[in-house]
Amino acid sequence: MSLTRRDFARTSAITGAGIALAGSAGVLATAPNALASTETDTAHGDAAVAQGQGHGLPGVGYGPLKSDPKGILALPAGFSYQIITYSGKTRLESGEFTPSNHDGTSTFEGPRGATLLVNNHELAGPRANWTYPVPLTDGLVYDPAAAGGCTVVEVRRDKVAEWVGIAGTATNCAGGSTPWGTWLTCEETEDKAGQNGMTKDHGYVFEVDPLDHRANRAPKPIKALGRYAHEAVVVDPKRGHLFLTEDAAGPNGLLYRWTPPTGFRHGRGRLRTLAADAGVLQAFKCFDSGGRFVDDLSRATRTGTVYGVDWVDVPDRDARQVSTRKQFGEGQVTRARKLEGMWWGDGGVYIVSSFARAESPVQHDGQVWFYDPRRRTLTLKVLLGVNPDPGKDGAFDGPDNITVSPYGGLVIAEDGEGVQHLFGATDSGRTYPIARNELNIGTEAEPEYSEFTGVTFSPDGRTLYANIQTPGIMVAITGPWKRQRK
């Protein structure tokens, strides 16, 4: 049963506009240890940040970052990192170099105390375009013309091993893990066979099993989840829904929900058995407390904004003639620019809109929303105003991959302009730096720093894994983790 605009307006009138925030992330600021403004200055695009508010508050964060003599990763005092994989330097078990362009990652409990990680490699287009594509391992190839895929990394105390999980896919981006212990890798492309050198259609989701090599043979796309520029996916463990983000523009992308067919039960490898038209794929449609349709999420200029959500069927999920996001007319669905990382936590879905520029009604440098499937509401938890000086350290912008921290709040990978961070946010909304990328891939005169990706904790919560996407470095960060004060 859908939640109608009238139902939501009536509920809002009863409970008041200040519906309690779901989840635990709070609101974020654009500067460390500052509280975010509750409103974006829409005239200038800059958040009015309460600079210095809470600065030095005991128990918040881990202190200032210290530069790395090796020029890789700045960390707080007491923390250290280990390089796990490095494209062009470390090698797979089969002898090839680790592929480049690390992206979405998740951890799994491996055999005999090992940690397994599945790591996406965001490699677009033909293999000839890349020095270190994902090797075409026999039996694990979808399209031999494509460069992307996933590797599985096994980390033990005295050994690291890496092998191919799937190959011949394209632009493998954020993805997501499942409650049954597998990885869903997402292709952020709409290339069809014959386009951009491809021999098969792309833009699908594939399942990769980190524990069972045989389960990954003869890769098969999960066509029921649609064909579009997939970014991330999460699974509602209670209701069985899958939520998927689309990172696209012209027009802006959509948030999707897939409802399984009646009688379907999730489990290892079961998604790939589904028919191409199994279940129902829908796009979201939001409305405010007054029942007014919301065309784009950038319209929200205050943290704590709550929208009601309806779901609208996608006419042609395989997008044979028209991209899925273009199959809807004005007023039918809600859009958002740069719908990126997602994470299931606190009984719902955290969803990132990384930034918005001229293609959106209102500019911003980052939003994180929380979708509560029980209430069918979407709450703005994070709002970052446009960063006026991205090259200056201290401000955060462009959230991308996220994870819920076992120490409270969120940990967020930055994909903005200029300086790139991993940063945390407490439940009350105070932000703090965790790491800074110091690997300059530009020049001394014009420095350039790659985005962070794949932020995820080990199953025991002791190690934070993350990637520097270019050239492709996976690091394991350890230190005196502690519960963050609210």
153-181 tens-digit pLDDT: 999 998 999 999 999 999 999 999 999 99
pLDDT band at 57 (very low <50, low <70, confident <90, very high): low
Is the pLDDT at 9 greater than 70, yes or no? no
Q: Give the residue-averaged pLDDT of 135-155.
A: 98
Per-residue tokens: 37 = 């403004």
> Would you state the pLDDT for residue 429?
63
CA distances to 59, 190, 246, 395 from 417, rounded to whole Å, are 29, 26, 21, 11
Q: Give the residue-averaged pLDDT of 451-475.
A: 98
Smallest CA-to-CA distance from 29 within 456, 387, 361, 437 is with 387
Place of tokens 């209430």: 375
Q: Give the residue-averaged pLDDT of 211-239.
A: 97
Domain interval for residue 204: 91-221
Q: Give the residue-averaged pLDDT of 464-468.
A: 98
Is the pLDDT at 95 greater than 90, yes or no? yes
Looking at the domain assignment, is residue 69 inside a domain?
Answer: no
Q: Give the residue-averaged pLDDT of 425-432.
A: 76
pLDDT band at 59 (very low <50, low <70, confident <90, very high): low
Smallest CA-to-CA distance from 479 within 160, 30, 62 is with 62
Looking at the domain assignment, is residue 204 inside a domain?
Answer: yes
> Would you state the pLDDT for residue 10?
45
Is the pLDDT at 474 greater than 80, yes or no? yes
> Would you state the pLDDT for residue 416?
85
Percent of the chain residues topping a pLDDT of 90: 81
pLDDT band at 323 (very low <50, low <70, confident <90, very high): very high
Pairing of strands 339-345, 410-414: unpaired
Percent of the chain residues topping a pLDDT of 70: 87
Looking at the domain assignment, is residue 129 inside a domain?
Answer: yes
Looking at the domain assignment, is residue 133 inside a domain?
Answer: yes
- 361: cis peptide before it, omega within 30°? no
Looking at the domain assignment, is residue 108 inside a domain?
Answer: yes
User: Which secondary-structure segment (H or E) carries 327?
Assistant: none
What mean pLDDT is reported for the chain?
89
**CA-based radius of gyration for the chain:** 21
359 with 341: CB under 8 angstroms? no
Is the pLDDT at 12 greater than 70, yes or no? no
Dihedral sign, Cα of residue 150, residue 471, residue 71, residue 484: negative
Q: Which tens digit of pLDDT belongs to each residue from 253-293? A: 999 999 999 999 999 999 999 999 999 999 999 999 999 99
Classify 255 as helix, strand or coil: strand
Classify 421 as helix, strand or coil: strand
Total domain count, the chain: 1
> Would you state the pLDDT for residue 394?
78
Looking at the domain assignment, is residue 406 inside a domain?
Answer: no
pTM: 0.91
pLDDT band at 428 (very low <50, low <70, confident <90, very high): low
Q: Which tens digit of pLDDT belongs to each residue from 366-385? A: 999 999 999 999 999 888 88
Looking at the domain assignment, is residue 253 inside a domain?
Answer: no
390 or 214, higher pLDDT = 214
Is the pLDDT at 431 greater than 90, yes or no? no
Quote the CA–CA distance of 206 and 203 in Å, as a whole number. Answer: 10
Is the pLDDT at 22 greater than 80, yes or no? no
Per-residue tokens: 28 = 């974020």
Looking at the domain assignment, is residue 44 inside a domain?
Answer: no
> Would you state the pLDDT for residue 382?
81
Smallest CA-to-CA distance from 115 within 146, 69, 84, 148 is with 84
> Would you state the pLDDT for residue 434?
97
Is the pLDDT at 365 greater than 80, yes or no? yes
pLDDT band at 229 (very low <50, low <70, confident <90, very high): very high
> Would you state the pLDDT for residue 244?
98
